[in-house]
Structure 1
Amino acid sequence: MRLSAEQLAWSVHGTPLLSDVNLTVEPGQTFGLVGPNGSGKTSLLRLLAGLNKPKSGQVLIGSQPLHNLKQRAIAQSIALVEQQADTTDRISVRDVVALGRTPFLTALRPWSTEDDAIVVQALVDVDMVHMADRLWHTLSGGERQRVHIARALAQKPKILLLDEPTNHLDIRHQLSILELVRQLPITVIISLHDLNQAMECDRIGVMDGGRLIDSGHPNEVLTTSRLQQTFGVYTHVIDDPVDGKQIMRFRSAV
């Protein structure tokens, strides 16, 4: 499903955080969102998910304006994994993931064996099925992050938004989660700090100062001049001796 932003702007207490953001992600694409801290990546994802209302402009799912849809309808199409999401409730891992099925439950469509199967598969996908009965408050930060991703997968979204999902994860689970995301037959927008991970996306966009200043194929966007100008680093590109992929190495330009 296509997700678009048209001239999005957003501010908090009169301070502009996003200005004139235009973006289209085609069905099935994985779009990487990169930029310095405070550049507006999280703000943009929350607008795309319908959690915040833009000051101006609009978000569209396909050709349908997001503001015309009820929250349940949005949740049946879009799932967001935020950087920080917590609870003080004594709730099990399985129950956290089961929350992803909430948008589909009604009096006429109660919980079913299909929902059970979806929850189990989501736990398997993030390597957390063995912790299904653990209580949330006993988990490490990385384990909680994997449960958040499982909850989003259980939602069976057509569009998945992830805000720095590899934070707190060890390298093995970083790689497995990113590989899982790339294989999903849905539209994905993923905010990343690791620019080498972003190179694996179909397209990327660079945020800076609340604006989307560039977008396109990673090799065309993450040029040495762009990296120096936006991120303040010098870049040296080497070829991986194993698979031949290009790897960027950085040093400060300051």
Structure 2
Amino acid sequence: MNLSAENLSWRVHGHTLLENVSLAVASGQTFGLVGPNGSGKTTLLRLLAGLGKPKTGRVLLGGTPLARMRQRHIAQSIALVEQQAETTDRIQVRQVVALGRTPFLSALRAWAKEDDAIVDQALVDVDMAHMAGRLWHTLSGGERQRVHIARALAQQPKILLLDEPTNHLDIRHQLSILELVRQLPITVIITLHDLNQAMTCDRLGIMDGGQLVGVGKPGEVLTPTRLQQTFGVQAELLAGDNGEQVMRFYHA
């Protein structure tokens, strides 16, 4: 399923966080969002998820404006993994992941064995099945992040939005989560700080000062000029051992 934005703007207390952002992400594509801290990536991701009404513009899911859809129906197609989501409740890991099934439950559709199987598989996918009975407050930051991702996977979305999903993860789980995301047969929009990780996306959008200043294939938009203007660094492109391109950075 495709997702698009038309002329999105967002302001808080007179401060512009997004200004006239338009983009289109095709079905099945992995689209990366990169940019400095405060550039508007998280704000854009939340508007794409339907969590907030833009001051101007609109978001369309499969051609239908989100503003015309009920939140329950949006949640049946779009899952968002935010950077932080805390709770003081004494809740177990499996219960957190099971929340991903909420949009599909109703008075006419009770919890079923199918839901158990979906939750179990989501826990396996993020390597947290062995911690299914652990209490949330006993988890490390990285473990909580993997549980958030499992909850989103249990939602079985057509579009998965991930805000810095590798934050707090050790390198092994960073690689495994990114590989899992790449293999999903769905549309993915992911914000990343690591530009080498971003190089593996199908397309990239570069945010700077609340604006989308570049969109295209990673090698086309992460140019030396753009890297210096937006990130304040110089870079050279190297060939990795596996044939993939790797960037090495220097102070501008």
Q: TM-score with structure 2 length normalisation?
A: 0.99
Is the counterpart of residue 230 in structure 1 residue 236 in structure 2? no
Return the offset for 1:215.
0.4
Hey, what does 2:52 align to over in structure 1? 52
Hey, what does 2:76 align to over in structure 1? 76
Q: Which amino acid aligns with 1:137?
A: H
Q: After superposition, where does 1:1-254 map in structure 2 within 5 Å?
A: 1-240=1-240, 242-253=241-252
Unaligned runs of 5+ in 1: none
Return the offset for 1:14.
1.4
* SS in structure 1 of the partner of residue 180 of structure 2: helix
Distance in 2 between residues matched to 1:192 and 1:32, nearest whole Å: 7
* SS in structure 2 of the partner of residue 207 of structure 1: strand
* SS in structure 2 of the partner of residue 18 of structure 1: strand
Distance in 2 between residues matched to 1:171 and 1:220, nearest whole Å: 27
Distance in 2 between residues matched to 1:116 and 1:252, nearest whole Å: 50
* SS in structure 1 of the partner of residue 54 of structure 2: coil
Unaligned runs of 5+ in 2: none
Distance in 1 between residues matched to 2:170 and 2:152, nearest whole Å: 20
Distance in 2 between residues matched to 1:213 and 1:236, nearest whole Å: 21
Return the offset for 1:236.
1.6
Q: Which amino acid aligns with 1:218?
A: P
Return the offset for 1:238.
1.3
Distance in 1 between residues matched to 2:67 and 2:24, nearest whole Å: 17
* SS in structure 2 of the partner of residue 96 of structure 1: helix
Instruction: Report runs of 4+ in structure 1 exceeding 6 Å deviation.
Output: none
* SS in structure 1 of the partner of residue 169 of structure 2: coil
How many residue pairs were aligned? 252
* SS in structure 1 of the partner of residue 111 of structure 2: coil
After superposition, the C-alpha distances for 1:5-55 in whole angstroms (9 at most, x for unaligned) are 000000011111100000000000000000000000000000000111100
Q: Which amino acid aligns with 2:80?
A: L
Q: Which amino acid aligns with 2:161?
A: L
Q: TM-score with structure 1 length normalisation?
A: 0.99
Distance in 1 between residues matched to 2:77 and 2:147, nearest whole Å: 19
Q: Which amino acid aligns with 1:95?
A: Q
Distance in 2 between residues matched to 1:156 and 1:213, nearest whole Å: 32
Q: Which amino acid aligns with 2:214?
A: D
Distance in 1 between residues matched to 2:162 and 2:68, nearest whole Å: 23
Q: Which amino acid aligns with 2:159?
A: I
Question: Identity across aligned pairs (percent)?
Answer: 76
* SS in structure 2 of the partner of residue 166 of structure 1: coil
Alpha-carbon RMSD:
0.5
Q: Which amino acid aligns with 2:249?
A: F
Return the offset for 1:94.
0.1
Distance in 2 between residues matched to 1:79 and 1:11, nearest whole Å: 24
Q: Which amino acid aligns with 1:237?
A: L
Return the offset for 1:246.
1.0
Distance in 1 between residues matched to 2:148 and 2:171, nearest whole Å: 18
